[in-house]
Amino acid sequence: MSPFSPLEPSPDLAMRKIVIAIDGYSSCGKSTTAKAVAAELGYAYIDTGAMYRGVTLYLLEHNISFDDLPRVEQALHDMHIAFKRNRKTGRNELCLDGVIREDEIRQMRISNSVSEVSVIPAVRHAMVRQQQRMGRKRGVVMDGRDIGTTVFPDAEVKIFMTADVMTRALRRQEELAVKDEHVPVEEIVENLRKRDHLDSTRAESPLRRASDAVLLDTTHMMIDEQVDFVLERVSASLFSLAATGWQGSEQK
């Protein structure tokens, strides 16, 4: 019998690098869970939603209409989106043209527009290409809307997160309040439903659960429980890969 528990793969297995795709609706705990999973595994964490928020912020600040496609495409060429690690907090923060804009992209005004920007094909194509470059060496945890279906359909672990809309709204309201932005819960519920509809019905890479994604309903779950749920799937995936013969992407 192996001396390692199902939650603790052997050191050799732990060195194998995989892609963990966490998709789902807004305010289900995707980012918090993904960050914790990445930290636990020593993986890179990529918040793809922040990238779309960064594009939205850039377009708004430069007064570029979302339906002015030539100007949007030029903006995608001109802007530079990256992540920089905050040594004090240990978090990866979004940089737009070399300036950290993490707080600005979380504002309600960005939440109200980001789904409209995300449906633009040129925007999605540009962001997907960048996300695929970021994760080509594996060893990443990505959260977003289309990671397991479009960005990394070959991800070894796929999770699809959901939660009751009121639970999500209350979580979002609490996040905003911490940043001194006080928004009525009814407004947040309306925003979430609008974003859910736009994300799920867009023609380009719509939000949907991949056929091989495990459903995780976080309505009544604490963050620690969500993290453990994902780590259990990671451990099971690593053992399964070892049993069938490792075929990591870097070896394909």
**pLDDT per residue as tens, the chain (252 positions):** 333 344 454 555 556 789 999 999 999 999 999 999 999 999 999 999 999 999 999 999 999 999 999 999 999 999 999 999 887 777 789 999 999 999 999 999 999 999 999 999 999 999 999 999 999 989 999 999 999 999 999 999 999 999 999 999 999 999 999 989 999 999 999 999 999 999 999 988 899 999 999 999 999 999 999 999 999 999 999 988 887 766 554 444
CB 152 within 8 A of CB 10: no
Q: What's the rounded Cα separation, in Å, for the pair 191 and 187?
A: 6
Q: What's the rounded Cα separation, in Å, for the pair 4 and 13?
A: 11
CB 7 within 8 A of CB 231: yes
**pTM (two decimals):** 0.86
Q: Which residues contact 236 (CB under 8 A, 6 or more apart)?
A: 6
Helix 223-244 to helix 30-41 angle, to the nearest 10 degrees?
50
Kind plus residue range of the DSSP H or E element containing 239: helix 223-244
Determine phi and psi for 158, rounding to 5 degrees.
Answer: -125, 125
Q: What's the rounded Cα separation, in Å, for the pair 123 and 126?
A: 5
Take residue 143 and report the two structure tokens written for it.
């959260």
Binding residues for ATP: 24-32
pLDDT at position 246, please?
60
Is 102 strand, coil or helix? helix
pLDDT at position 242, please?
80
pLDDT at position 240, please?
86
Is 2 strand, coil or helix? coil
Take residue 53 and report the two structure tokens written for it.
């928020």
